[in-house]
Structure 1
Amino acid sequence: MRIKSFKITDFKPIKNIEMGHLGDIIIIAGANGSGKTRLKQAIVQTLQGDPVMDITIEATRTEEEDPKYFNGSSVEVKTGQPNQTLNNYINSRKYGAGKYVGSLVQIDSNRSIQALKYNPVNWLAGDPDDTNGPGNYYFSAFSGRWQNFVNYIHQKSASRDKKLADSLKKEPTKGEEIIQKNPDPFQKYKKIFSDLLPGKELIDINPAQPREFQYKDETGQALPFQTLSSGEQEVIKVLFDVARKEIKHSVLIIDEPELHLHPTLTFKLIESLKSIG
């Protein structure tokens, strides 16, 4: 899905905004206090079933045009009038196997992370991506999603280790084939890290001892994740967060994407997000 047009009136401090014929990437700029964050809140609130604005949602894939979803190429929502068609569609979104298709991703400006709690992994719990989750996962606050991610990736790595051990016990002569069938889930994030921060390499995690991520710098010294600059941490956290679900056909809203970032990192962030989904 995508936002085709919207109109919002008397949503303080916003007096009136109307936009149509929207493209794939929209940048809304303005002075502090002009209502940019409020506009984001209005979109999220409306897509959650409490319309505070007029909005037209356009289908971007054939499935969405099905009678059980949009029943056409678009769905129109009016201020103050809950739209059951859109509500049913959003509630139908389920992500499994790490996928997230046809919903909303919101990244709020409050991306400061408090002390993380690292949960011990459950070696018998299985792969966390084998369980379907709600289609409104990315409606929640970013800081909570990062806490969830660090425990998720340790649990997923533990599940992979157990699969390898169990498979090798059954077929000890097929070690290489078994490893190829069960790739390391952390490699995806290591590539994002090294592509974004040349000369730095994320160190493999040990699910038996969940802890803060570490990386190697140009000298080969192992350093904790928190020694990265605030801007580097910001971009890595955002990209790890959205890469987790293999997002496709979704509306992605970022409040203050340039927060803490040098212009070069801002550009890299936007280019990386464009390549996702």
Structure 2
Amino acid sequence: MRVSRLAIRSWRNLRDVDLNMDKAAPLVCLVGENGAGKSTVLEVLSAAAHSLGISQGVQNTRGDIFTEPHDIDITVYVPPEEIQFSESSYFTDELRDAASRWTGELHLHSVRGSATQSTVSAGVSTQADLNSSAQADTRLSERLGDAVVAALRERRETQHLYLDADRAYPPAEVPLHEYGQIFSQEWRNPDVTRNSAFQPSRTLYTEWIKYFVGVDENELSKYSMALRRARDSGNPDPKFDDPFEGYAASLRQVLPHLRFAGVAKGGGQPRTPIFDSAGIELAFSHLSGGEREVAFILGQIDRFRLRRGLLLIDEPELHLNPDLLRRWLAYLRDTIVSGQVWIATHSLEAVEVAGPSATFVFERNPETRLVTAPKLLSGRPVLSALSAAVGSPAFALGKLRFIYIEGDRQTRERERFYAVCGDETTNRFLEGGGCRDVLRRLSDIKTLSAESQEQLHIGGVIDRDFRTDSQADELERDYSVHVLGCHEVENLFLHPEAIDALLTSMFRGVTPPRESVRWGGLRTGFRTEAVNMWPSVGGRRGSRP
């Protein structure tokens, strides 16, 4: 199943939302700032999944959307060949005839004013009988829709999984007194599995640890019994069918350095999953944040065997660095073969994987606090290019101050600049390569900005190195960069005048002088912002510590 259209005319702070995407799109990305409604869209899809027959229940932490005022339309596509019309008791002869003309589309319409009205109808090609009334066709479409939903609900496989952003992974070990119940649970029974897929992430995490313990114990018990029987009868030892082989293979594909080692046992200690991280065996709770995130979500896909349904993930960038996030999302995109992944994110890397034709930008009106008519990123080519150029999602372009610094990757250089300038919520330092690369990037953005309506705050800082005052002045004039007053930013933490000023401030209550560096307005018309630096406090330009 894949979503091809999601329309929210009104619900909470969303108005006139109409998201249309290619029904073949495997990954759909919703990007925007906090409070823009990205996560609530995932809640809508999660609640609708139950009405469409692919989820056994609804458990949204922020309430049931269908009890609130709303007006929602959702269209999904289900390959007709996946529904066994001839074998299902829900399809009468009349419905089987209509099913032969079914386009594969299901339409869910739900509206609540004084009361809730919700219908599911199936898209059926035009009736050959010209005497058929529109009202009769509507009733037939709704009956066929109900029959398709019933057929989907009969499937024993998991078709929907929603992972909310509450994924902190605190240490979770199974209490000893729960082992009896865990060992008796039929963890691999499809009915048991699908009935627990709609729970919140926090519950899924706790259940996942128990799942490891229960499945490991049950499979080892079955194998030991089979081994005894084989040896008693003189037959060769049976092959052990590792229940976690697929999970271990997926983990190696996304995190090559990490291996699933098994479940710790013995010593009277609670059992817990064990992983080999570059030669060191660690419990799940001792892995890094990124390792835990990937191991957990991979574990959910492995446990629920989700392949042709909807996977919804809120903030997939949690705990992950940019490179790992790209690889991770690409894996998810290619794994849900006949289904679809929806993500709500702040991350540009996630946008890169989804692509501009499957990324919707959510922007909130600061005065009304409403989100109206989100657009595809592909429909805003200049904004898309600028977003890629400055390394930030499109929604943030006009609200942040972007400062290119020298460097090829994120290092402590960025931390030093934050220590000097502060205000991490506004300043975004971006490694742009060498000094020539920084100048080239700024020049390119000037060209792009000439076509943009965005108000950008952007500039660059390059090392003093051995440049003369006239060379530094020329660079500042032509490229809107600031040339450090000392050799490089590390020197600011050793600069005698800076230390004197800081000590004066700390012990005498006197504010030290700051050099206020204002990058000149770029000739393309977008404005820049003054940034306070500490390059040569009280000294002349170019002075060396």
2:33 counterpart (15, 27, 31): 31
Say which SS state the counterpart of residue 10 (structure 2) adopts: strand
Alpha carbons of 1:253 and 1:196: their partners in 2 closer, same or farther (altered >3 Å)?
same
User: CA 1:123/1:245 → structure 2, altered by over 3 Å: closer, same or farther?
Assistant: closer
Unaligned runs of 5+ in 2: 52-65, 112-116, 121-145, 337-545
RMSD (CA atoms)? 2.8
* Counterparts of residues 135-154 of structure 1 (less than 5 Å): 135=194, 137-154=196-213
Change (3 A) 1:126 1:28: closer
CA contact (8 A) 1:243 1:276 kept: no
Residue 106 of structure 2 corresponds to 75
Total equivalences in the alignment: 267
Partner residue of 1:40? 42
Task: Find the aligned partners of 1:128 and 1:138 in 2 and give their Cα distance.
Answer: 12
Normalised TM-score (structure 1) = 0.83
The equivalent position to 2:217 in structure 1, one of 146, 158, 161, is 158
Rounded to whole Å, the distance in 2 between the matches of 1:117 and 1:132 is 25
Pairwise CA distance, 1:115 = 4.3
Deviation at 1:40, TM superposition (A): 0.8
Match of 1:107 among 133, 149, 163: 163
Give the drift of 1:255: 1.1
Residue 130 to residue 29, structure 1, CA distance change in 2 (3 Å):
closer
**Equivalent residue of 1:28, what SS?**
strand
Question: Are residues 1:215 and 2:269 paired?
Answer: no
Contact kept, 8 Å, 1:3 with 1:56, in 2: the verdict is yes
Gaps of 5+ in 1: none
Match of 1:262 in 2: 321
SS for the counterpart of 1:185 is coil
1:10 maps to what in 2?
10
Q: Residue 244 of structure 1 aligns with which residue? A: 303
> For 1:142-221, what aligned pairs fall within 5 Å after superposition?
142-172=201-231, 173-176=234-237, 178-179=238-239, 182-206=240-264, 210-218=270-278, 220-221=279-280
Q: Could you tell me whether the CA contact under 8 Å between 1:190 and 1:202 is conserved in 2? A: yes
Tell which structure's C-alpha radius of gyration is larger. 2
Any idea what the Cα deviations from partners look like across 1:61-95, whole Å, max 9, x if unmatched? 51337374894312111122323626535532323
Give % identity.
Answer: 20
SS at match of 1:222: strand
In structure 2, relative to structure 1, the CA distance for the partners of 1:20 and 1:64 (3 Å cut) is farther
8 Å contact kept, 2:182–2:210: no
Q: Deviations over 1:166-193 (max 9, x none)?
A: 22222214344x22xx411123333333
Whole-angstrom distance in 2 between the partners of 1:87 and 1:152: 30
**Matching residue within 41, 66, 91 for 2:153:** 91
Contact 1:2 1:60 survives alignment (8 Å):
no
Greater relative contact order: 1 or 2 (C-alpha under 8 angstroms, separation 6 or more)?
A: 1
Q: Take 2:330 and 2:40, find their aligned partners in 1: how far apart are those partners?
A: 25
**Preserved CA contact (<8 Å) 1:158 1:207:** no
Is the 2:317–2:325 contact (alpha carbons within 8 Å) kept by the matching residues of 1?
yes
* C-alpha contact 1:123 1:159 (8 A) present in aligned 2: no
